Amino acid sequence: MYASDLRDEDWERIRHYFEYENGYGNRAIHTRRSLINGILYVVKTGCQWRMLPKDFPPWKTVYGYFRRQSQLGIWEKMLKELVKTRRLRAGRNEHPSMLIIDAQSVKTTGKGEQRGFDGGKKNQGS
C-alpha cells in the first residue's frame, strides 16, 4: 500500500469513469483500480514510467492505459466533475466567477532599436 493509492471511498467516487462494458467480456488481467493506482504513483512521486514498482501492473500496461484515457478525455471529464462537486459541497457556485492570473512583470523600454553582432569585427553593430 502506497500513500498515493486510492481509498475505497475515493475509488467509488470515480470508478464509473474507468469501468465500462466493451461487449467482449472481461478479459482484463489487471484491475482498473490497480492501473489508476499505478498512474497516481507516477504522478505523486514523479518517477519515470519504467521505474514503476513491481507491486503495480507492468509499466507499459499502466502507461498505455493512461494514454488511452487521456486521448479519450476521461481525465479532464473526471477532474471537472470533481471540482464542480467540491465547489458545491463548499457552498460555492459550481462555476468560478473570477479568474486571476499571476504573471511576472516584464520590463520594457520605449526604445526599440535593431541591434546585431558582427562576428568578424567582434563588436556590436547595427
Query: pLDDT for 3-62, tens place per residue?
Result: 999 999 999 999 999 887 666 666 778 999 999 999 999 999 999 999 999 999 999 999
Query: Rounded distance, CA 48 to CA 40, Å?
Result: 12
Q: How many CB atoms lie within 10 A of CB 35?
A: 21
**Cβ density class 78-89: b for 16+ within 10 Å, e for less:** beeeeeeeeeee
Mean pLDDT confidence for 84-95: 87
CB within 8 A of 10, min separation 6: which ones? none
User: In this structure, what DSSP letter does residue 125 have?
Assistant: E
pLDDT at 68 over 70: yes
Cell of 41: 504513483
